[in-house]
């Protein structure tokens, strides 16, 4: 085919090429000659071929395909992903060569990895890219290949800090590198910088540094905790919850600092005395400080001055002693928890759920059977010929459809501890974030510290769709890494909980019911799980059921559980081992307008009766019309946030009434559709 080069060059000139040389270069530029559609097609082909080669572990070919795809990519995120895949391919080639003892070739490949990171940072200068480069050069090279390149990693970190001086993650990585290099003073400088940036996040500071806050250096006798307390003129004293955490940690883990613990806890008490557990911890710390002063033969005047300074603690101790009798009875009841295992039939379980959960008939039946099987297994474990495998539950459904609520009702019925845990905050061990075992800590706390009781509880792992594996983003610490962390809990094993600065305990997860839940909707890494099934089976998936929906579609929707396969979940981003531990699967539908309307008045803890009671106690009769209830349900349905939006809408409607009417001469408050719409449109 003949190409008119003159017209191409003129066209290129219109796009900004000024000189003849530039025009000629553009005229023979293959990418410039390609249409946007051709570029997209070539990009897709290169990505598919690259991923295919990568999965076959042909990393050299995969790298070549990804490099070819980079000029075709127009989206910034996609281009960064391709750069990262190039670096990942080089890293894998380097690993292979190191394992095969090909030192000379490995050195060349190592240079390619470094060059790849430098190109990546040049094109996309982000803290995350700097951090990945530092971890590869520093920690990974030392741990995997026993190559000490900490000095080079520190240089990269210094460059990163010059660009991102407020990113605490870079300081944290530098702190680790300086520790490896025995650079005590410089590691202390990094710690001080982190304290300045994160002083008001005690959980982060204590989890990552703990006892280092009380460690002096040769050239700096001032403790890091002292720096924290002085930062910004004592800004930490405006955060009583965080101050309480620092004080409690000091009291429990740091010896010879009893007076500092009292100081921190007392300041937290003065700001916010109602923090749970604060009074008890302050009283204990006070007693420990007095005992320490006696043991150290402190002068009587010093002890008297300390008691006078914190004399109000004596009043706190007295009040606690008076309440102890009532507390003993409450502790004995243990939130009405029961250690007796009572097997309830599926029909009875569903009848109980019907009192509180509107709609979701198929899901309630499935949950009743699944929970019945769990109770049977607990009741007859250890008996001959009664072996039953542990079966956790996978719960799928859109936001606000009642997933969490249904489990709360089951826990209430069985009188067992229940805890909800956000899985999206779990990361691989050694990274900033929650550990998987933190959900067991919460469960034991919910059981008032009774481990035996906690071992029969329910752990609701919410937002599970957020831990799907994220393709092509380097080490996936919050996706695949989080799934790996949860495996040992789901399969049933004895887990040791507690870090090096915490009291450790062991808990057996064999009889804990884990319910993994999520909406499994669209994410930045791909489409919804429902759409995957729809494409394969041509079913409706999770979309909202309409009143005029064809009958065949409704039947397909009811049978979606049967159509969901392990392959669907694996392609969505879950490890086969993770999927294999979730045998029982239940799908909840989006709530319809009639169901939202019923939720307002019918369940045992319905919203409208609560407001009626609030107005009644204020001497006012709430008269809410049927059309007003219809309007509230319509607005909640339009928001597409499920049942949780009902409370938000009602709060907005009744706020003015509850503010102005109590104490007035008005004895009846009538709410109709017009009144509802007036507040909704505000």
Q: Which helix (DSSP H) or strand (DSSP E) does residue 410 occupy?
A: helix 403-414
Q: What is the mean pLDDT of the chain?
A: 79
Provide the pLDDT for residue 641: 78
Assigned fold of 593-680: Helicase, Ruva Protein; domain 3 (1.10.8)
Rounded-to-integer distance, Cα 362 and Cα 527, Å: 25
Phi, psi of 576 (to 5 degrees): -55, -40
Superfamily in which the 357-587 domain is placed by CATH: P-loop containing nucleotide triphosphate hydrolases (3.40.50.300)
* DSSP percent split of the chain into helix, strand, coil, nearest 5: 65, 5, 30
Provide the pLDDT for residue 432: 59
Provide the pLDDT for residue 442: 85
Q: Which of 13-17, 90-94, 546-550 has the highest mean pLDDT?
A: 90-94
Asked if pLDDT for residue 544 goes beyond 60, the answer is: no
Rounded-to-integer distance, Cα 569 and Cα 575, Å: 8
Asked if 266 and 282 touch (Cβ cutoff 8 Å), the reply is yes
> Tens digits of per-residue pLDDT, 242-294?
999 998 998 888 888 888 989 999 999 988 888 888 889 999 999 998 888 88
Provide the pLDDT for residue 282: 92
| Residue 503 pLDDT level (bands cut at 50, 70, 90) | confident
Cα torsion 484, 488, 489, 491: sign: positive
Q: How many CB atoms lie within 10 A of CB 169?
A: 18
Q: How far is CA 72 from CA 38, 78, 117, 447, in A?
A: 9, 10, 20, 57
* 357-587 and 593-680 have identical folds: no
DSSP-based three-state secondary structure for 642: coil
> Tens digits of per-residue pLDDT, 299-327?
888 888 888 888 888 888 888 877 665 55
Asked if pLDDT for residue 551 goes beyond 80, the answer is: no
| Residue 89 pLDDT level (bands cut at 50, 70, 90) | very high
The residue extents of the domains of the chain are 357-587, 593-680
């Amino acid at each position: 085919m003949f190409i008119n080069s003159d017209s191409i060059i003129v066209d290129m000139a219109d796009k900004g090429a000024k000189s003849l040389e530039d025009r000629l270069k553009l005229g023979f530029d293959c990418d410039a000659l390609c249409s946007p559609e051709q570029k997209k097609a070539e990009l897709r082909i290169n990505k598919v071929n690259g991923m295919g080669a990568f999965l076959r572990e042909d990393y050299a070919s995969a790298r070549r395909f990804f490099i070819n795809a980079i000029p075709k990519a127009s989206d910034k995120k996609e281009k960064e992903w391709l750069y990262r895949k190039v670096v990942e391919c080089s890293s894998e080639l380097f690993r292979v060569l190191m394992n095969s003892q090909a030192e000379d070739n490995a050195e060349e490949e190592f240079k390619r990895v470094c060059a790849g990171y430098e190109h990546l940072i040049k094109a996309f200068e982000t803290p995350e890219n700097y951090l990945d480069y530092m971890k590869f050069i520093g920690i990974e090279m030392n741990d995997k290949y026993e190559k000490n390149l900490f000095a080079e990693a520190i240089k990269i970190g210094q460059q990163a800090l010059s660009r991102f001086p407020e990113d605490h993650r870079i300081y944290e990585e530098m702190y680790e590198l300086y520790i490896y290099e025995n650079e005590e003073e410089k590691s202390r400088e990094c710690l001080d910088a982190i304290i300045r940036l994160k002083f008001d996040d005690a959980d982060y500071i204590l989890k990552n540094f703990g006892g280092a806050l009380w460690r002096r250096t040769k050239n700096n006798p001032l403790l890091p905790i002292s720096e924290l307390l002085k930062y910004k003129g004592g800004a930490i004293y405006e955060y009583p919850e965080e101050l309480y955490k620092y004080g409690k940690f000091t009291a429990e883990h740091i010896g010879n600092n009893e007076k500092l613990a009292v100081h921190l806890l007392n300041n937290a008490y003065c700001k916010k005395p109602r923090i749970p557990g604060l009074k008890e911890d302050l009283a204990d710390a006070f007693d420990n400080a007095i005992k320490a002063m006696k043991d150290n033969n402190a002068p009587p005047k010093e002890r008297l001055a300390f008691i006078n300074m914190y004399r109000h603690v004596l009043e706190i101790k007295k009040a606690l002693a008076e309440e102890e009798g009532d507390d003993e009875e409450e502790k004995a009841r243990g939130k009405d928890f029961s250690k007796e295992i009572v097997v309830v039939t599926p029909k009875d379980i569903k009848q109980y759920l019907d009192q509180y959960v509107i709609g979701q008939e198929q899901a309630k039946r499935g949950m009743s059977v699944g929970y019945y099987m769990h109770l049977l297994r607990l009741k007859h474990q250890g008996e001959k010929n009664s072996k039953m495998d542990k079966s956790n539950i996978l719960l799928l459904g859109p936001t606000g459809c009642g997933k969490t609520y249904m489990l709360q009702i089951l826990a209430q019925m069985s009188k067992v501890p229940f805890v909800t845990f956000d899985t999206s905050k779990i990361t691989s061990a050694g990274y900033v974030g929650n550990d998987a075992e933190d959900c067991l800590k919460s469960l034991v706390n919910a059981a008032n510290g009774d481990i035996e009781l906690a071992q029969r509880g329910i752990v609701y792992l919410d937002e599970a769709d957020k831990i799907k594996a994220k393709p092509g983003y380097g080490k996936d610490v919050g996706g695949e890494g989080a799934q790996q962390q949860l495996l040992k809990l789901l399969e049933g094993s004895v887990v040791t909980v507690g870090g090096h600065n915490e009291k450790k305990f062991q808990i057996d997860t064999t009889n804990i019911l884990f319910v993994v839940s999520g909406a499994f909707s669209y994410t930045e890494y791909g489409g919804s799980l429902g759409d995957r099934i729809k494409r394969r089976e041509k079913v409706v998936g999770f979309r909202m059921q309409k009143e005029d929906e064809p009958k065949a579609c409704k039947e397909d929707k009811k049978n979606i559980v049967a159509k969901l396969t392990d392959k669907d979940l694996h392609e969505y981003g879950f490890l086969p081992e993770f999927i294999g531990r979730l045998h029982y699967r239940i799908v909840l539908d989006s709530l319809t307008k009639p169901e939202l309307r019923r939720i307002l008045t019918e369940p045992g803890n319905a919203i409208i009766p609560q407001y009626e009671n609030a107005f009644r106690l204020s001497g006012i009769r709430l008269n809410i019309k049927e059309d007003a209830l219809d309007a509230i349900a319509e607005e909640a349905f339009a928001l597409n946030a499920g049942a949780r939006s009902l409370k938000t809408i009602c709060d907005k409607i009744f706020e003015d009434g509850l503010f102005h009417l109590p104490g007035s001469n008005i004895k009846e408050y009538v709410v109709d559709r017009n009144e509802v719409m007036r507040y909704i449109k505000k």
